[in-house]
Structure 1
Amino acid sequence: MILDRQLLLSNAQPITATAVSTNTIDLAIARDIGIGDNLELFIKVIAAFAGGTSVQFAFITSANADLSSATVIVQTPAIPTASLVAGSEWLRVQVPALSQAAAMQRYIGVSYTVVGTFTGGTVTAGLALDREGTAYYPSGLNSGGF
Protein backbone atom coordinates (compact mmCIF):
# COMPACT_ATOMS: atom_id res chain seq x y z
CA MET A 1 0.00 0.00 0.00
CA ILE A 2 1.40 3.39 -0.97
CA LEU A 3 0.51 6.04 1.61
CA ASP A 4 0.87 9.80 1.36
CA ARG A 5 0.68 11.80 4.60
CA GLN A 6 -1.36 14.44 2.75
CA LEU A 7 -4.03 11.80 2.10
CA LEU A 8 -4.36 10.59 5.71
CA LEU A 9 -7.69 11.53 7.26
CA SER A 10 -7.06 10.00 10.69
CA ASN A 11 -3.64 8.98 12.02
CA ALA A 12 -4.08 6.69 15.04
CA GLN A 13 -7.01 8.90 16.04
CA PRO A 14 -8.63 7.91 19.35
CA ILE A 15 -12.37 7.29 18.98
CA THR A 16 -14.26 7.56 22.27
CA ALA A 17 -17.39 9.36 21.03
CA THR A 18 -19.04 10.25 17.72
CA ALA A 19 -16.56 12.33 15.72
CA VAL A 20 -15.16 13.14 12.29
CA SER A 21 -11.62 12.61 11.04
CA THR A 22 -9.03 15.03 12.39
CA ASN A 23 -7.92 15.81 8.83
CA THR A 24 -9.84 16.61 5.66
CA ILE A 25 -8.83 16.66 2.03
CA ASP A 26 -9.62 19.93 0.28
CA LEU A 27 -10.49 19.11 -3.32
CA ALA A 28 -10.24 22.79 -4.34
CA ILE A 29 -6.45 22.79 -3.94
CA ALA A 30 -4.76 22.18 -7.27
CA ARG A 31 -2.64 19.06 -6.73
CA ASP A 32 -2.34 15.51 -7.96
CA ILE A 33 -3.97 13.10 -5.53
CA GLY A 34 -3.88 10.14 -7.83
CA ILE A 35 -5.48 11.34 -11.05
CA GLY A 36 -5.77 8.31 -13.32
CA ASP A 37 -5.01 5.94 -10.46
CA ASN A 38 -7.46 3.81 -8.53
CA LEU A 39 -7.61 5.41 -5.10
CA GLU A 40 -9.00 3.37 -2.23
CA LEU A 41 -10.36 4.58 1.06
CA PHE A 42 -9.22 2.46 3.99
CA ILE A 43 -10.06 2.52 7.69
CA LYS A 44 -7.84 0.35 9.87
CA VAL A 45 -8.12 -0.28 13.61
CA ILE A 46 -4.75 0.39 15.23
CA ALA A 47 -5.64 -0.22 18.89
CA ALA A 48 -8.58 -2.46 19.78
CA PHE A 49 -11.82 -0.82 20.86
CA ALA A 50 -13.10 -1.33 24.39
CA GLY A 51 -16.05 -0.22 26.47
CA GLY A 52 -18.64 0.79 23.91
CA THR A 53 -21.24 -1.10 21.91
CA SER A 54 -20.52 -0.39 18.23
CA VAL A 55 -19.03 1.99 15.65
CA GLN A 56 -20.29 2.90 12.20
CA PHE A 57 -17.70 4.21 9.73
CA ALA A 58 -18.65 6.52 6.84
CA PHE A 59 -16.83 8.19 3.94
CA ILE A 60 -18.28 11.71 3.78
CA THR A 61 -18.11 14.90 1.79
CA SER A 62 -18.95 18.42 2.93
CA ALA A 63 -18.90 22.04 1.80
CA ASN A 64 -17.29 22.88 5.17
CA ALA A 65 -13.73 22.18 6.35
CA ASP A 66 -15.05 20.96 9.73
CA LEU A 67 -17.16 18.36 7.84
CA SER A 68 -20.40 19.73 9.29
CA SER A 69 -23.61 19.11 7.32
CA ALA A 70 -21.86 16.24 5.57
CA THR A 71 -23.24 13.96 2.89
CA VAL A 72 -22.52 10.24 3.29
CA ILE A 73 -20.97 8.63 0.23
CA VAL A 74 -20.75 5.11 1.67
CA GLN A 75 -20.94 3.66 5.17
CA THR A 76 -20.68 0.41 7.10
CA PRO A 77 -23.40 -1.04 9.26
CA ALA A 78 -22.83 -0.70 13.02
CA ILE A 79 -19.81 -2.88 13.83
CA PRO A 80 -19.83 -4.49 17.30
CA THR A 81 -16.93 -3.78 19.65
CA ALA A 82 -15.82 -7.43 19.66
CA SER A 83 -15.04 -7.13 15.92
CA LEU A 84 -13.01 -3.93 16.27
CA VAL A 85 -9.69 -5.63 17.02
CA ALA A 86 -6.23 -4.28 16.23
CA GLY A 87 -5.36 -4.84 12.58
CA SER A 88 -8.95 -5.21 11.35
CA GLU A 89 -9.84 -3.15 8.33
CA TRP A 90 -13.21 -1.60 7.51
CA LEU A 91 -14.77 0.19 4.58
CA ARG A 92 -12.02 -0.51 2.06
CA VAL A 93 -13.67 0.87 -1.09
CA GLN A 94 -12.56 2.36 -4.35
CA VAL A 95 -13.10 6.11 -4.25
CA PRO A 96 -15.41 7.51 -6.94
CA ALA A 97 -13.68 9.78 -9.45
CA LEU A 98 -12.83 12.91 -7.49
CA SER A 99 -13.41 15.13 -10.52
CA GLN A 100 -17.16 14.53 -10.46
CA ALA A 101 -18.23 17.81 -8.87
CA ALA A 102 -21.84 16.66 -8.68
CA ALA A 103 -20.86 13.74 -6.41
CA MET A 104 -18.24 15.46 -4.26
CA GLN A 105 -18.33 18.69 -2.33
CA ARG A 106 -15.14 20.63 -1.52
CA TYR A 107 -13.95 18.53 1.46
CA ILE A 108 -13.83 14.79 2.07
CA GLY A 109 -13.30 12.95 5.33
CA VAL A 110 -14.51 10.13 7.53
CA SER A 111 -17.13 10.07 10.27
CA TYR A 112 -17.23 7.73 13.25
CA THR A 113 -20.67 7.21 14.80
CA VAL A 114 -20.46 5.40 18.12
CA VAL A 115 -23.02 3.72 20.35
CA GLY A 116 -21.95 3.64 23.99
CA THR A 117 -18.85 5.15 25.54
CA PHE A 118 -15.51 3.78 24.42
CA THR A 119 -12.52 3.73 26.76
CA GLY A 120 -10.07 2.71 24.05
CA GLY A 121 -9.68 2.33 20.33
CA THR A 122 -7.77 4.16 17.60
CA VAL A 123 -8.07 4.19 13.82
CA THR A 124 -6.00 5.28 10.86
CA ALA A 125 -7.93 6.20 7.73
CA GLY A 126 -6.99 7.70 4.40
CA LEU A 127 -6.67 7.27 0.68
CA ALA A 128 -4.14 4.83 -0.71
CA LEU A 129 -2.86 4.17 -4.21
CA ASP A 130 -2.50 0.42 -3.84
CA ARG A 131 -4.26 -2.41 -2.11
CA GLU A 132 -2.33 -3.90 0.78
CA GLY A 133 -2.47 -7.64 0.60
CA THR A 134 -0.75 -10.87 1.44
CA ALA A 135 -0.17 -13.77 -0.90
CA TYR A 136 -0.30 -17.22 0.69
CA TYR A 137 1.53 -20.08 -0.99
CA PRO A 138 1.42 -23.79 -0.27
CA SER A 139 4.01 -25.18 2.14
CA GLY A 140 7.19 -26.34 0.43
CA LEU A 141 6.90 -24.04 -2.58
CA ASN A 142 10.33 -23.56 -4.12
CA SER A 143 10.71 -19.83 -4.59
CA GLY A 144 14.34 -20.04 -5.75
CA GLY A 145 15.00 -18.23 -8.96
CA PHE A 146 12.35 -15.55 -8.50
Structure 2
Amino acid sequence: MIFDKQSLLSDAQAITADAASTNVINLGPIATGTVRNIGKGKKIPLSIQVVEAFNNLTSLEVKVQVDDNETFTSPKQIGTTGLLALADLALGKKINIDSVPRDADERFFRLFYDVTGTAPTTGKITAGVVAATE
Protein backbone atom coordinates (compact mmCIF):
# COMPACT_ATOMS: atom_id res chain seq x y z
CA MET A 1 0.00 0.00 0.00
CA ILE A 2 1.14 3.49 -0.78
CA PHE A 3 -0.23 6.40 1.24
CA ASP A 4 0.04 10.01 0.17
CA LYS A 5 -0.16 12.94 2.59
CA GLN A 6 -3.33 14.39 1.03
CA SER A 7 -5.36 11.24 1.58
CA LEU A 8 -3.88 10.18 4.93
CA LEU A 9 -6.39 10.28 7.79
CA SER A 10 -4.19 8.93 10.62
CA ASP A 11 -0.39 8.68 10.53
CA ALA A 12 0.59 6.33 13.37
CA GLN A 13 -2.03 8.16 15.45
CA ALA A 14 -2.00 7.19 19.13
CA ILE A 15 -5.51 6.22 20.24
CA THR A 16 -5.68 6.84 24.00
CA ALA A 17 -9.33 7.94 24.19
CA ASP A 18 -12.27 8.60 21.86
CA ALA A 19 -10.85 10.72 19.05
CA ALA A 20 -11.33 11.80 15.46
CA SER A 21 -8.64 11.02 12.92
CA THR A 22 -5.88 13.62 12.97
CA ASN A 23 -6.62 14.58 9.38
CA VAL A 24 -9.83 15.27 7.50
CA ILE A 25 -10.19 14.90 3.73
CA ASN A 26 -11.83 17.89 2.05
CA LEU A 27 -13.63 16.63 -1.04
CA GLY A 28 -14.23 20.15 -2.29
CA PRO A 29 -17.36 22.25 -2.67
CA ILE A 30 -20.48 20.77 -4.20
CA ALA A 31 -22.13 22.80 -6.95
CA THR A 32 -25.78 23.71 -6.41
CA GLY A 33 -28.02 20.98 -7.76
CA THR A 34 -25.18 18.44 -7.83
CA VAL A 35 -25.26 15.21 -5.85
CA ARG A 36 -22.02 13.68 -4.56
CA ASN A 37 -21.51 10.11 -3.40
CA ILE A 38 -17.86 9.01 -3.64
CA GLY A 39 -18.67 5.62 -2.10
CA LYS A 40 -21.02 4.68 -4.91
CA GLY A 41 -19.76 2.99 -8.06
CA LYS A 42 -16.14 1.84 -8.34
CA LYS A 43 -14.68 1.12 -4.91
CA ILE A 44 -12.19 3.62 -3.47
CA PRO A 45 -9.69 1.57 -1.42
CA LEU A 46 -9.30 2.49 2.25
CA SER A 47 -6.57 1.04 4.44
CA ILE A 48 -6.80 1.01 8.24
CA GLN A 49 -4.01 -0.81 10.04
CA VAL A 50 -2.76 -1.22 13.61
CA VAL A 51 0.89 -0.05 13.68
CA GLU A 52 1.34 -0.42 17.46
CA ALA A 53 -0.50 -3.05 19.49
CA PHE A 54 -3.22 -1.85 21.86
CA ASN A 55 -3.45 -2.52 25.60
CA ASN A 56 -6.04 -2.00 28.35
CA LEU A 57 -9.20 -1.25 26.34
CA THR A 58 -12.14 -3.63 26.09
CA SER A 59 -12.89 -2.81 22.46
CA LEU A 60 -12.44 -0.22 19.72
CA GLU A 61 -14.91 0.80 17.04
CA VAL A 62 -13.74 2.71 13.97
CA LYS A 63 -16.47 4.83 12.43
CA VAL A 64 -16.41 6.45 8.99
CA GLN A 65 -18.02 9.88 9.09
CA VAL A 66 -18.87 12.70 6.70
CA ASP A 67 -20.12 16.23 7.34
CA ASP A 68 -20.76 19.45 5.48
CA ASN A 69 -18.32 21.35 7.73
CA GLU A 70 -14.75 20.69 8.82
CA THR A 71 -15.58 20.89 12.53
CA PHE A 72 -18.00 17.95 12.22
CA THR A 73 -20.73 19.59 14.29
CA SER A 74 -23.28 17.15 12.86
CA PRO A 75 -21.32 14.11 11.63
CA LYS A 76 -23.12 11.42 9.66
CA GLN A 77 -21.83 7.90 10.24
CA ILE A 78 -21.66 5.98 6.96
CA GLY A 79 -19.69 2.92 8.03
CA THR A 80 -18.30 1.09 11.04
CA THR A 81 -16.05 -1.80 11.90
CA GLY A 82 -18.33 -2.88 14.69
CA LEU A 83 -16.65 -3.59 18.03
CA LEU A 84 -13.10 -4.89 17.73
CA ALA A 85 -11.92 -6.76 20.84
CA LEU A 86 -8.49 -6.10 22.33
CA ALA A 87 -7.30 -9.49 21.01
CA ASP A 88 -8.07 -8.25 17.47
CA LEU A 89 -5.91 -5.13 17.80
CA ALA A 90 -2.45 -6.66 17.54
CA LEU A 91 0.43 -5.14 15.57
CA GLY A 92 -0.18 -5.48 11.83
CA LYS A 93 -3.92 -6.11 12.08
CA LYS A 94 -5.78 -4.81 9.03
CA ILE A 95 -9.14 -3.44 10.08
CA ASN A 96 -12.16 -4.63 8.11
CA ILE A 97 -13.26 -1.52 6.19
CA ASP A 98 -11.55 -1.92 2.82
CA SER A 99 -13.21 0.86 0.83
CA VAL A 100 -15.04 4.14 1.26
CA PRO A 101 -18.64 3.22 2.16
CA ARG A 102 -21.69 4.33 0.17
CA ASP A 103 -23.31 7.58 1.26
CA ALA A 104 -20.03 9.54 1.39
CA ASP A 105 -22.05 12.45 0.09
CA GLU A 106 -20.83 15.46 2.06
CA ARG A 107 -17.76 17.70 1.71
CA PHE A 108 -15.59 16.42 4.59
CA PHE A 109 -14.55 12.84 5.37
CA ARG A 110 -12.85 11.40 8.50
CA LEU A 111 -12.56 8.42 10.81
CA PHE A 112 -13.63 8.42 14.46
CA TYR A 113 -12.11 6.04 17.00
CA ASP A 114 -14.52 5.03 19.78
CA VAL A 115 -12.80 3.39 22.77
CA THR A 116 -14.72 1.18 25.21
CA GLY A 117 -13.29 0.29 28.61
CA THR A 118 -10.05 1.51 30.16
CA ALA A 119 -8.16 4.05 28.09
CA PRO A 120 -5.22 2.40 26.33
CA THR A 121 -1.68 3.65 26.90
CA THR A 122 -0.41 1.98 23.74
CA GLY A 123 -2.04 1.53 20.36
CA LYS A 124 -1.58 3.39 17.09
CA ILE A 125 -3.37 3.36 13.75
CA THR A 126 -2.36 4.44 10.26
CA ALA A 127 -5.29 4.93 7.89
CA GLY A 128 -6.15 6.59 4.62
CA VAL A 129 -7.27 6.30 1.04
CA VAL A 130 -4.82 4.23 -1.02
CA ALA A 131 -4.34 3.32 -4.67
CA ALA A 132 -5.03 -0.35 -3.99
CA THR A 133 -5.21 -2.91 -1.19
CA GLU A 134 -4.04 -6.52 -1.22
User: TM-score, length-normalised on structure 2?
Assistant: 0.82
Secondary structure of the corresponding residue to residue 120 of structure 1: coil
Does the Cα contact within 8 Å between 2:64 and 2:110 map onto a contact in 1?
A: yes
User: Identity across aligned pairs (percent)?
Assistant: 37
Q: Retained in 2: the 8 A contact 1:37–1:129?
A: no
> Which protein has the bigger strand share?
1
Shift of 1:15: 0.3
- Inter-partner Cα distance in structure 1 for 2:101 and 2:115: 26
Q: Which digits, 9 at most, give the CA deviation of each residue in 1:70-91, with x for residues without a partner?
A: 1111101111111100100113
| Higher alpha-carbon Rg | 1
Letter in 1 for 2:24: T
Distance 2:6 2:42 in 1: 16
Trace 1:86-125 onto structure 2 (pairs within 5 A). 86-96=91-101, 103-116=104-117, 117-125=119-127
Structure 1 moving runs of 4+ over 4 Å: none
> Alpha-carbon deviations, 1:51-97, whole Å to 9, x = none?
11110011110122133321111101111111100100113322257
RMSD (Å), alpha carbons: 2.3
TM-score (ref. length: structure 1): 0.76
Q: Number of residue pairs matched?
A: 124
